[in-house]
Amino acid sequence: MDQSREHLHAPGPSLWPVGFAVGVVVLLVGLVVSTTVVAIGAVIAVVFTVLWVRDIARGRGLVETTVLEPEMRPAPKATPHLSDVRLEDRYPRNVFLELSTLGLGGVVGGVVTLPALGFMIAPAFLKQGVKEQDVGPVSDYPLNKYMVATFDSDPSQGTVARRAAFVRNNGMLGSQPSFTIISSRCAHLGCPVQPNGPKFGSEKKVGDITLQGYLPSGFGCPCHGGQYDTEGNRTAGPPVRALDRYSFSVRNNHLWIGAPFSVSHVDGTGAEALIHKWTYSYPGQHVDGIESWLYPIEPPR
Ligand code: FES
């Protein structure tokens, strides 16, 4: 009989831990780069963890056992009681080290992965509803003129929730009304932007809404000199993108301001303008180009 078969064979070295480590590295890089890279890293880490666990389980199952000829087979021993088996015999050192390494890796992976996954998934479960704001009858917005509408975005928060929007009635685009509604939040650090131009008409109050006409040649920020044209495109100073805008709807001849969104730039003007829209982003954050890859992932709002 081949005596070499009487030896126990431990499983060979596995490459799956390397794949797991690569997945964790990709995930960590993704925390700086983008949620897509985080997801790719998480998938790689999970897949290689599964393969690693499967490998260990198989390796233990493949340990070769000695098959002896019947005449050489020793008399069967009585099965020892579990309490009679020493702990180190039940859990050999190599198995203990493999399982503890795997467990530790899983804990570290979970600590790194779960917050990132939370940031990715939580917004879908958080209340994302944006409170729409009625800013008065459409007739209060003269054609092709800017009105500054000042309103409370959340009356329960008091004056800190006071917002201003530059609203221009562009007339009709086909059968749909067209409005340009630009946020006054500077795209540099968030200071309130002002219209560069004189007022026209008198201030009008509609409930909690204040309306004032302006004839701006653009918009300017008093904090660091950021300048924008009448479409909100950055023309000078430190802002990194165009001014944010608001979506809108017209219901019962009233204009309603909806969710804000960010804009990289605008081509054209008025109703015909091509607006390059992006997810609502913080001031100072690039929304396109290579710089946008270098900005950390935003926590859910
Ligand atoms: S906050 Fe507007 S230019 Fe700095």
Q: Where are the domains of the chain?
A: 3-125, 133-293
pLDDT of res. 165: 95
pLDDT in tens, 87-130: 666 667 777 777 788 888 888 878 777 776 776 666 555 555 56
CA-closest candidate to residue 235, choices 256, 249, 219, 214:
219
Ligand 1 atom 1 nearest Cα: 189
Report the separation in Å between the CA atom of 146 and the middle of ligand 1, taken as the mean of its atom positions: 22
270 lines ligand 1 (CB under 6 A): no
pLDDT of res. 87: 65
Report the separation in Å between the CA atom of 80 and the middle of ligand 1, taken as the mean of its atom positions: 79
pLDDT of res. 81: 67
State the average pLDDT over residues 164-174.
Answer: 94
Q: Is the pLDDT of residue 148 over 90?
A: yes
Ligand 1 atom 4 nearest Cα: 224
Q: Is the pLDDT of residue 179 over 90?
A: yes
CB-based contact 133:153 (threshold 8 Å): yes
pLDDT in tens, 274-298: 999 998 988 998 888 877 777 666 6
Fold of 133-293: Rieske Iron-sulfur Protein (2.102.10)
> Tell me, what DSSP letter sits at residue 231?
T
CB-based contact 190:226 (threshold 8 Å): no
Q: Is the pLDDT of residue 3 over 70?
A: no
Index of the ligand 1 atom closest to the CA of residue 237:
3
Structure tokens at 55: 């490998």
Choose the residue to mutate in 183, 185, 189, 196 for probing ligand 1, maximizing ligand atoms within 8 Å of C-beta: 189
